[in-house]
Amino acid sequence: MNMIYMLIGVSILLALIFLVAFFWASKSGQHDDTYTPGLRILFDDEVKPGIEKSDEDHI
């Protein structure tokens, strides 16, 4: 029975740690821009002059 009390206490402590981490991420601006990352895949990357992409580079 003592093991159940310990597991409940550890799970509550772990849940509180994750809750604090979520609030810290929200306060630091982690969740400010949720729209742009979804659109980023639609645009091509800029190619630097003199560097050509080819399939030979990926072998």
Q: What is the pLDDT of residue 45?
A: 72
Please identify every stretch of the chain with a pLDDT value under 50, giving residue numbers as ranges.
none
Q: What is the pLDDT of residue 55?
A: 54
Q: What is the pLDDT of residue 12?
A: 98
Measured CA to CA in angstroms, residue 54 lies from 41, 44, 45, 46, 47 at distances of 20, 15, 14, 15, 12
Q: Which residues are CB-contacts of 25 (< 8 A; sequence separation ≥ 6)?
A: 31
CB 25 within 8 A of CB 31: yes
- Is the pTM higher than 0.85? The answer reads no
